[in-house]
Structure 1
Amino acid sequence: MGSVKWLQILDPLRGLFERSGVDYPMMRRILEMKLLMDGRRVPTLIQKSSKTADPDNQSNQFIKSLWIYVVISVVLVPFVVMKTNYMFQMSLVFGILMFMITTSMISDFSSVMLDVRDRNILFSKPVQRRTISMAKLLHVLIYLLLLTGSLTVVPLVVGLFRHGVLFFLLFLVEVILMDFFIVVLTAVLYWLVLRFFDGEKLKDIINYVQIGLTIVMTVGYQFISRLFNFVDLKVAFRPQWWEIFIFPAWFASPFEWLLGEGKSPLIVIFSVLSVVGPLVAWWVYSLLMPSFERNLQKLASHHGRGKSGGFRLQEGLGKLFCRGKLERLFFRFSWDMMGRERDFKLKVYPQLGFSIIFPFIFMFNTLRSEGGFAAMRTGKGFLFLYFCALMIPSIIMMLKYSGNYKGAWIYQTAPLTDTAPVYKGALKAMVVRLFAPVFLLQAVIFLIIFGARIVPDLVVILLGVLLYVVVSFMALEKGLPFSQPFQGSQSGSGFVIFGLLVLLGVFAGAHFGFTFLPYGEYLYMLLLLVLNLLAWKLAFRELPAS
């Protein structure tokens, strides 16, 4: 059957696990089986055409994608290299790391932490619940440490040569403690939701909590740079009591205390919290594990959704935006799947949080440079609304995945002579259900800030985003909606999505350029209208049937 030899690194901690009530041999065996199964995933519909049938080639796609995070980690190098102020530079480093790791946690690892399949196999066996919970937690931690290692390997090496061995060791320890803290914080958050809700309502609330957590983490990251004052190109940090709630400041404080010049009592307190906080959080989670597992069974309950006016709404929207019965049919099908497919929502809905807040973050960051709110209102800050479309390439890429992908046999049995209505209906459902509410909310707020003068610009932005949807669809790898398992969703498309994000900036730049021409907004509007008519007509020719 095989084994995972490197799990022997857990053996020195056996006593610690057993003192916390965990059956260590059983826990290690369960964890070993989980890791082995991760490397034996069911191949996707794309993989089924592969020439090789060697199961060893069907390796974990997450591990194969770690090199992308190594590339991203280069962003942290300038902050590690500088010797301005340890508290300043390391708060930024840990702020970025906590932001990226937490968002990955809630989007990629929630399905592991909230997995209820263990109940069907292990709960009927003489296995302690605490042992099962610890195996699940370590399963998440292993992948989280791989992710964190990829994000920090370059900064760690640079820090070793730039600041010495003590900096390297301190950085390594604080990163590990940060990972423990993130896992427990996420688990406790889910425990609170599980404690008070159940069934389908709980599954919806989890998605809303993820969006809220994404927003809180993003906005919280903005506070980090506000902790510091720049005086004569020197960074001054004056710790305040309320900064105890800014978690990245905890993990940055030991660098300032041991390597820098910060010896204030609050710096010492923050440094102690960076060690005690994760350990106490781990202890609290170990106490909550039995309750967590008991409440987790609520996710296995399925209650039928009552009929509501939602059907009439999607029926009316389908008639309004779709041409032909088949296109309207798949508009309604995709609408329902996006609202009920829990795995899809776990991966996609947190991205809505980014799209909601990014335009406002970039806009308000320009307040200082433009001389205040009054000056900003007369400027072109409304162009930041283009950032609400950041989510579109990722969501289009995710449209072909589903937890119920085995139902895709319906595509082969249905008399489909042309798959264009299938793709077109799914894309329009994505635009109307996911993008339109975000855009309308932000458009209203921008109208309040900038006034009625930007109404033509809002129309231009909407037309530009609709064209961007079609271009993204053409550039990304295609698959019939909700027809492939999520196991393949980690692979590929990274560079394509990056290129599409650059293209979004090109759209915004072109809009900015046209504003300097007489009636430039209306000229750009006419150009985009023509391009949309052509693109939506030509993009759906010769599409794959499977």
Structure 2
Amino acid sequence: MDTMKWLKILDPLRGVFEKSGVDYVMMRKILEIKLLMDGRRAPTIIQKSKNADPATQSNQFIKSLWIYVVLSIVLVPFVAMKMNFMFQMSLVFGILMFMVTTSMISDFSSVMLDVRDRNILFSKPVQRKTINMAKMLHVMIYLLLLTGSLTVIPLVVGLFRQGILFFLLFLLEIILMDIFIVVLTAALYWLVLRFFDGEKLKDIINYVQIGLTIAMTVGYQFISRLFNLMDLKVTFSAKWWEIFIFPTWFASPFEWLLGSSREVFIVIFSVLSIIGPLAAIWIYTLLMPSFERNLQKLASHQARGKTNRIRLGERFGRLLCRGSVERIFFRFAWDMMGRERDFKLKVYPQLGFSMIFPFIFMFNMLRLEGGFAAMRTGSGFLFLYFCALMIPTIIMMLKFSGNYKGAWIYGAAPLTDTASIYKGTLKAMIIRLFAPVFAIQTVIFIIIFGARIIPDVIVILLGILLYTVLSFLILEKELPFSLPFQNTQSGNGFVILGLIVLLGVFAGAHLGFRFLPYGEYLWMLILLVSNFIAWKLTFRKVPASSLSNA
């Protein structure tokens, strides 16, 4: 990436930065180095070319943006329609805020929570405000690239379909939305940093990520329920509590300036869409000194009182693993998934998705089937399959680690094959990450649908276990925790999409067998045999020479 080209965009704003107390020349140099180092990260998508010249390697995040361009097609119908600006743009900004915030949590939290700036630059004659602004701009550049990829097609469609004023307003609101998301995420982390220390803090940050992911997902569901759709005409009646539904802020200016509504709440929301992000930046500058002071807590390493969890891992390892090598790597993966902060930063939000999606699908069906009593007698429990949406992504992430340089141990250890390594790691992932989510959802589903679904729950579990092995078989395989997290965008987007479709095939097959006499028991037997064969044949032995390349 040509960093100088990007930084030229900031030059016209030099006076603004300097008036706010930022050393623009120093900030520009820090930002240039950050972007330069991003471009030289060894791309995990091309791991076989480990000896390639770093200067010729490009930033894989930039290369992966085309996936977001494809996803942006979903927004085109809402931008193109001429129905109700408040309705269509609330949906647009709801989808955008959902996708951008989740990307912010999974991909950019490690940048916001990076303590290396403090360790390297704080001892130098560099103003704290300059360092903080460079960090914020570093995140904003990538966030604007992400948002630009998600909105480039909708912006073009809006220009030709709605006019130049719509285009300019859309562009302005997108920028304000990105600023608001960055500051809101930083403020949430500041709250956590303010009240907790050390290892406990690191765990709580992961819980905050899950909570924020769930909140964004549920909040998006509220957006479509703000409107009444009758005879293809949309009506919007604002309530005071809707001030907390942030997408309505950014949709209101369209209705105020381009639509026909002049309601008080529309005007208030429109003003908030501008004042809110600007006030957020001001608050951000006030909180940053405190944020940076508390950020140092992440560098502290306190003893963990987790002997019970270690014993639990040992017990599961003895119960589920047959060989000693498999048990060792079960324990190893169990500990890594519990202690690796970067791994949890990227994976735990996926647990939030898997926790909430089955219930979203179920309650959407509740509206269609006309009541809770009608839904309880139906097949809505099959949505339990979608708690496995996280499995392909987690399997893909198992090869990454912040301590990847320790992977030399694979070559040094007296191992004869990788079958036990993969098998133990996959079992640890199922028990540590998937099983708690599935157990909680199973209890809730049995309470809702009754004990009649217990055989179906067993079938669903067997189906997901087979789906896990198939996902492992299809995805690229690398030794667990042996690659760096940088540029984890590995071009597997379509593979993940195909695996999601495969999960739907499992649910469809389950539904089809239920129409046969004792069909669920027949499908249970088929899955039981298939699991036995798959877990036997998938983890075939690999020559020891492959381990020497670790």
Determine if contact 1:20/1:286 at 8 Å carries over to the other structure.
no
Segments of structure 2 that go 5 or more residues without pairing to the other structure are: none
Cα distance change on mapping 1:106 and 1:51 into 2, 3 Å: closer
Aligned residue number for residue 251 of structure 1: 250
Aligned residue number for residue 41 of structure 1: 41
Determine if contact 1:332/1:429 at 8 Å carries over to the other structure.
yes
* Shift of residue 55, structure 1, vs aligned partner: 2.6
**Equivalences for 1:411-430 in 2 at 5 Å?**
411-430=410-429
Length-normalised TM-score, structure 1:
0.98
Q: What SS does the aligned partner of 2:368 have?
A: coil
Aligned counterparts of 2:48 and 2:174: Cα–Cα separation in 1 = 41
**Could you list the per-position Cα deviations for residues 468-498 of structure 1 after superposition, in whole angstroms to 9, with x for gaps in the alignment?**
0000000000001100001242122111111
**Equivalences for 1:128-527 in 2 at 5 Å?**
128-527=127-526
Determine if contact 2:180/2:277 at 8 Å carries over to the other structure.
yes
Runs (4+) off by over 6 Å:
none
* Letter matched to residue 524 of structure 1: W
Q: What SS does the aligned partner of 2:506 have?
A: helix
Q: What SS does the aligned partner of 2:37 have?
A: helix
Aligned counterparts of 1:225 and 1:282: Cα–Cα separation in 2 = 29
* Letter matched to residue 42 of structure 1: A
Pair 1:13-2:10 in alignment: no
* Letter matched to residue 95 of structure 2: I
* Shift of residue 311, structure 1, vs aligned partner: 1.8
* Count, aligned residues: 545
* Letter matched to residue 195 of structure 2: F
* Letter matched to residue 132 of structure 1: I
Aligned residue number for residue 537 of structure 1: 536
Determine if contact 1:62/1:491 at 8 Å carries over to the other structure.
no
Aligned residue number for residue 23 of structure 1: 23
* Letter matched to residue 275 of structure 2: V
* Letter matched to residue 254 of structure 2: F
Q: What SS does the aligned partner of 2:367 have?
A: coil
Aligned residue number for residue 109 of structure 2: 110
* Letter matched to residue 17 of structure 1: F
Q: What SS does the aligned partner of 1:485 have?
A: coil
* Shift of residue 161, structure 1, vs aligned partner: 0.8
Aligned counterparts of 1:52 and 1:413: Cα–Cα separation in 2 = 21
Note the aligned Cα RMSD (angstroms). 1.4
* Shift of residue 421, structure 1, vs aligned partner: 0.4
Aligned counterparts of 1:369 and 1:179: Cα–Cα separation in 2 = 35
**Could you list the per-position Cα deviations for residues 275-327 of structure 1 after superposition, in whole angstroms to 9, with x for gaps in the alignment?**
11000001110111111111111111111213521122111111111111110
Q: What SS does the aligned partner of 1:497 have?
A: helix
Aligned residue number for residue 64 of structure 1: 63
Aligned counterparts of 1:463 and 1:433: Cα–Cα separation in 2 = 17
Determine if contact 1:4/1:36 at 8 Å carries over to the other structure.
no
* Identity within the alignment, %: 79
Length-normalised TM-score, structure 2:
0.97
Aligned counterparts of 2:364 and 2:306: Cα–Cα separation in 1 = 45
Q: What SS does the aligned partner of 1:230 have?
A: strand
Aligned counterparts of 2:352 and 2:84: Cα–Cα separation in 1 = 32
Q: What SS does the aligned partner of 1:235 have?
A: strand
Worse-matched range after superposition: 423-432 or 48-57: 48-57
* Letter matched to residue 256 of structure 1: E
Aligned counterparts of 2:54 and 2:48: Cα–Cα separation in 1 = 14
Determine if contact 1:64/1:491 at 8 Å carries over to the other structure.
no
* Letter matched to residue 506 of structure 2: F
Aligned counterparts of 2:432 and 2:50: Cα–Cα separation in 1 = 39
Determine if contact 1:401/1:485 at 8 Å carries over to the other structure.
yes
* Shift of residue 6, structure 1, vs aligned partner: 3.0
Segments of structure 1 that go 5 or more residues without pairing to the other structure are: none
